[in-house]
A and B are shown apart, each in its own frame.
Chain A
Amino acid sequence: MHLLDAVPLINALILGLSIASIWLIAALGLTIIYGTVGVINMAHGEFIMVGAYTSYALQSSIGLPFLLCLPASFAVVALVGLVIERGLIRYLYNRPLDTLLATWGVSLVLMQGVRLIFGSDPKYIAVPQIFQDNLAFGPFGLSVFRLVVIAITAAVVAATAWLFYRTRFGMQVRAVMQNKEMAASFGIDADRVYMITFAIGAGLAGLAGSLFGVLAIVLPTMGTAYVVQAFLVVVVGGGSLVGSVAAAGLTGELQSVFALFSNDTFARFLLYVLIVVFLRFRPRGLFAVAKARR
């Protein structure tokens, strides 16, 4: 590759940050569910989709402003997650492969259910005018909405970190993660910890969904577009919060830079192959969760 003008590269790096933030917020819920509960949630993409539809429905029926749709989506999808955890997942905690399959069944049901309710034609979520512009500093630029996504992602990551590392609940979570029986003997209700974590993870997916509905389109099948990336972020990161942040940053930047030098499709292929090779040498990911599961 001959020497390129630096501007496109820097722009690609800025954009990479945005792609990373999108993948990170898509993967955040998956991370805490996997990292804490050990469940690989195949319905994660559909949680995202349900979040997007929640925002759409609230906006089009009662005209809720977009910024209020975000917490509303979080709440609704967290509730959905709660119901699924209580009704299904909790019976499968010691069967990791089966949870993977059962949650795939859940994803089918959610996707088809939404299709029955809303139909399969695309919907869209409106955002305030100020989000639909571009910020430019000389030759460098990024859209306002992408900045909003970066900011929200950063805020949510910070809040999650605070919850898991600075609160009493977080301490309980970490205790349960390290040794469920020992934690239980100290009076921690592991069942409750799992339930709340699962609901929060689902809620985060819902929040991501209402952001994605703005970036692209609201469709019953929209979740599948994000879920593979989300999985890869979790697996490469090793299931810890810091791991996911690092993995999303790395893969997002690589995707953006590869796409600059080749094309989007080939960039994706390259990324998948790199990830498989990487996992060969670090099967536990960048920052594995230090725990003795079961």
Chain B
Amino acid sequence: MLIKLTGGTVYDPAHRVNGRVHNLYIQDGRIVDPPAGAHVDIEYDLHGMVVMAGAIDMHTHIGGGKVNIARTMLPEDHRADPVTHTEHLRSGCGHAAPSTLTTGYRYAEMGFTAAFEPAVLPVNARQAHMEMGDIPILDKGGYVMLGSDDFLLRMMHDGADQKAINDYVAWTLNASQCIGIKVVNPGGISAFKFNQRALDLDEEHTYYGVTPRQVLKVLATAVNELAVPHPLHVHGCNLGVPGNMETTLKTIGGIEGLPIHLTHIQFHSYGTEGDFKFSSGAAQIAEAINANRNVTVDVGQILFGQTVTASGDNMRQHANAGHAHPHKWVCMDIECDAGCGVVPFRYRDKNFVNALQWAIGLEIFLLVEDPWRVFLTTDHPNGAPFTSYPHLIRLLMDRSFRNEQLSRLHPEAQKMTTLASIEREYSLYEIAIMTRAAAAELVGLSDRGHLGAGAAADITVYVPDDDREKMFSRPRYVFKDGQLVVRDGQVVNVVWGTTHVVKPEYDPAIEKQLASYFDRYQTMKLDNFIIQADEISEDGRGSVTIHPCWGGRGV
């Protein structure tokens, strides 16, 4: 079947197309060159409409144990946002910790066609994939967490060479069916199990004697040498701690040019100036990002209201548990692998710290010059639920709206931010870069995030509106792999996406070492730990798509 999208105004940064009117053709789920004389089966008249590739959320907590703890903990939050069963759609709940089915519907209804879970514990990867397997429409994938697992820390303590660590990293990616490597509070989740309550970049783990800087170095090197496209995904030390911008700057400076992605950088950009000993480090952080082309970031913008924070960083979550709202929280130590912490939280615009966090995130968005290296996230649900993206896009694209919002915040916070003076407004082209072209490149998806011939036909069509929040809330059409799934902001057809993975090669000798470690210290056999592809595909809906390790931004 041949589908023609006629006359839309196309924003396709991967091909430097910035608002040019041209037609697109879809055949068998792919974008194709204009076929000479072929019969068009369905034509959509898109004159006056904006056409982009489907959006990609490169960091969103949508599946896995901590997300399900958050769901189970928050019946009162779900009750305010029930989702009704229809002919096409399953019932569920929305807001801070939405059900999997609702997650897929609501992302699609905003024009998103892929989302990546950034904190997959190797031992919990099976659950993460099962949950993501129940997220309709979207493609998905995961970044698997290393850095507080005892196997790696033992290797480092014993002076294992980089090649052996590379083998372990590659094996982990294969065994967990993931597409990238994440490190959370490097070594710190393990240190917390030994009753350490903080671990700065150059502080030694009390048992292993290893520092976070060393963990970052070996993992970033491994990812680079394995030519995994997605750079090491770093949730740094000292999340949320006033003054942590110094740690973040040292992290950038200390990585020696290796590619790294610093996630939810907003939470790591705090100074200690002012009466409240809490200030914005956004200018210095943005300057460092601008100066270091090996670094990408996503922001982790906070927006006001109730949400829940769910993180692998149980050291920091435990430290912040007193702020839980409502007052309940969970911390777990997990399988000599990692941990998790779930703390519900309400961001308030009249609270000085929260108001300044809001401003810091926006400052970073606006001060980082290259939209190919800064990504639109709220670290869902940690900064805000993903459903607030259209609002966030409006804040970036509309200075008067932004300043009007700023004027409502805690007055002391307004004094501590330069936001009001920043004139920049994001263009549609820049939004298309950060949410499409650059996101696909960052994750390592060559056939997504763009509209060239051969790309998957994941396409979103918007009706332009000066109110960008309205425009991005309700696409006219969304196509997933060439199938119309959303019309006028409503899901009309449910399809199932694929799971994107990489499979870097490794020396199988590492499995011998792992097998004896598993037999001695773990609670399952190595072969039962490994996730087979058929576990993802056997329900008849899921599939695994393997991407080549071509090196990405590697040096």
On whether the two chains bind one another, the answer is: no
Q: Which residues of B are interface residues toward A (Cβ below 8 A)?
A: none
